[in-house]
Amino acid sequence: DSGVTQTPKHLITATGQRVTLRCSPRSGDLSVYWYQQSLDQGLQFLIHYYNGEERAKGNILERFSAQQFPDLHSELNLSSLELGDSALYFCASSPPQGKAFFGQGTRLTVV
Amino acid sequence: AQTVTQSQPEMSVQEAETVTLSCTYDTSENNYYLFWYKQPPSRQMILVIRQEAYKQQNATENRFSVNFQKAAKSFSLKISDSQLGDTAMYFCAFMKHYRLNAGNMLTFGGGTRLMVKP
């Protein structure tokens, strides 16, 4: 158990819809990262939050947004969903010592 | 920007044998971390081993060890006494040295699918 909790584990939704993925980092970790893993693909960095502030953006679509709340949990919002958004979405939290611990991921299927 | 390359899309090894997975990276940074992550069929991302670039000594974790060649920008993973449970996708990853005001995200290679055969 990495200590990072993601919900839900699975999500099936229709094109055009909006979903919210949730992540609770490990106790004490201020950093939360979101990654996308499409089918048979490597992991692509989406966005990084540190203590409530956005710190870096990767290849994140404008239809996607995220935030980190005062209790440090984070949410990734995906809107106007397309078939190509089907993927495994990971959250990771990181202490300052240069490690990253991943949640179990949310498998999103857009139909 | 950093890039990570894994040139072996698939590999196989007999149980109890040794296998080496290759990884090369490109960066202008001097201080950074390198990682190997394992992704079994459950899709969980599991940290296998971590190397700090400023350390010359190669990291080891039980049956897993790395060969870190900083000048060559090479970071291979050796799995000794392979077990059936080692069957997984393995990702090499790079992280810049921690900076408070910068995103310390991981840059991943494309992965190597390892099959351990009985």
Amino acid B102: pLDDT: 62
Would you place residue A94 in the very low, low, confident or very high pLDDT band (cuts 50, 70, 90)? Answer: confident
Q: pLDDT grade, residue B103 (50/70/90)?
A: low
B107 touches A: beta carbon within 8 Å:
yes
Query: CB–CB of B103 and A43 under 8 A?
Result: no
**CB pairs below 8 Å between A and B: how many?**
64
Distance CA B66, CA A78 (A): 38
User: Is the pLDDT at B99 greater than 90, yes or no?
Assistant: no
Helix (H, G, I), strand (E, B) or coil at A91: strand
A45 CB neighbours in chain B (<8 A) are 105-107
pLDDT of residue B57: 94
Band (pLDDT 50/70/90 cuts) for residue A99 is confident
Distance CA B59, CA B77 (A): 10
Answer whether B43 touches A (CB < 8 Å): yes
Residues of chain A neighbouring B106 (CB-CB closer than 8 A): 33, 35, 43, 45, 92, 100
Let me know the angle formed at the C-alpha of A43 by A42 and A47, rounded to the nearest 5 degrees: 160
Residue A4 — pLDDT band, cuts 50, 70, 90?
very high
Contact (CB, 8 A) for B107 and B46: no
pLDDT tens for A5-61 read 999 999 999 999 999 999 999 998 999 999 999 976 779 999 999 999 999 899 899
The pLDDT of residue B98 is above 80: no
Interval A74-102 mean pLDDT: 92
Place of tokens 């190997």: B36
Q: Tell me: pLDDT of A77 over 80.
A: yes
Mean pLDDT rounded to a whole number for chain B: 93
DSSP state of A96: T
* Interchain proximity A105–B97, CB inside 8 Å: no
